[in-house]
Amino acid sequence: MIDWLRLIRVSGLATIASNTIASLAMFADGLSPTWMLARLKHGELRVLWVPLASFLLYAAGMLWNDLHDVERDRVLNPRRPLPSGRVGLPAAYVVGVLLVVGALLAGYLAESHIGFYAAGVVLSLALLYDFAAKSVPYVGSLVMGLVRSSHAIFVLLVLGPEYMQLALGIGHDPARQPWLLSYPLILGLYIFGVTLISELESRRARRWELLVGGGVIALALALSCARVVNAHWVVELGNRLHAAAPVAIAAVMAVGLTILGILVVSIARPYLEALRTGKQALVGATVRAALGGIILLDALIAISGHPLAWLPIILLYPLFRAVGSLIRMD
């Protein structure tokens, strides 16, 4: 069982959960902390089907990635579950197909044809990365960014297809942030930058490429901060709390600043050292820090949607670290 969990990179499910919460937080209805529970009480079962489809899409992408790389891993990573034989190839192929079918079916049950096609887009991009794009410099990074962006849009089906239109810039709601500050765009930029840096683990790294990757990550963080500074709930909080509002707003902003500081420091240390020395080992350390930073980024962005939305996300961070330490891919 542990080897199956390794195959799907089970610790990464925490980042999928944080992506989902952050994406939904962008459309939080007012300041009510029970806005999602109310939808479930009204019998909207897509609240359950969409997260299930989301997790299955992630697991399918990870498993098919290892199935594609199995011959290479026999040489480079022989201790992994597939090349070592601890997980049989026939069984892995069967499970891979079941994950794909399950993801598409869950998407369909969530929102009929729209859910099916939306899940299909995420799945197609993930398989495109696994089987073709990841071996092409820069293109693979772009596709991986699109995978996470499309997933962040897909999970909005929890709220309804009209919210997908808003995230894509097709719909219009004057109460929402402009498309430039859309969460899927920010997440896609961040993942593009991280994946671009990760490419340099397996090929000769040039400092300007590290600079580009770091610059894209910095842009994503800057856009995240812009969202927080312009949070729509500030006015409503002021109307509710009156004299106490400045203290409450300052406290929430201090939380955001703390999260940003932890994220920047955790990435900057190995990144700047890699930039200075050009050592590939430090590139790997940068990537690992940035992957964990996905949850911190989500917590930061979620503050712009709801002053308490960061809390369930930040609780995922120790879970991500603990599971990642216990169930590591060889």
In this prediction, residue 296 carries a pLDDT of 97
Domain that holds residue 154: 2-326
Q: Any residues with CB less than 8 A from the CB of 39 and at least 6 apart, and which?
A: 47, 158, 159
Give, for all 330 residues of the chain, the pLDDT tens digit. Answer: 888 999 899 999 999 999 999 998 887 665 565 666 666 666 678 888 999 999 999 999 999 999 999 988 888 888 888 988 899 999 999 999 999 999 999 999 999 999 999 999 999 999 999 999 998 989 999 999 999 999 999 999 988 888 888 878 776 665 565 555 689 999 999 999 999 998 887 777 678 889 999 999 999 999 999 999 888 888 777 777 777 778 888 899 999 999 999 999 999 999 999 888 877 777 888 999 999 999 999 999 999 988 889 999 999 999 999 998 888 766
Q: Which of 61, 55, 56 is nearest to 127 (CA)?
A: 61
- What is the pTM for the complete model shown? 0.92
**Domain count of the fold of the chain:** 1
C-alpha distance from residue 291 to each of 19, 225, 252 (Å): 12, 19, 24
Q: What is residue 177's predicted lDDT score, i.e. its pLDDT?
A: 57
CATH code assigned at 187: 1.10.357.140
Token pair recorded at residue 209: 């490429």
Q: Cα–Cα distance between 96 and 67 in angstroms, integer?
A: 9
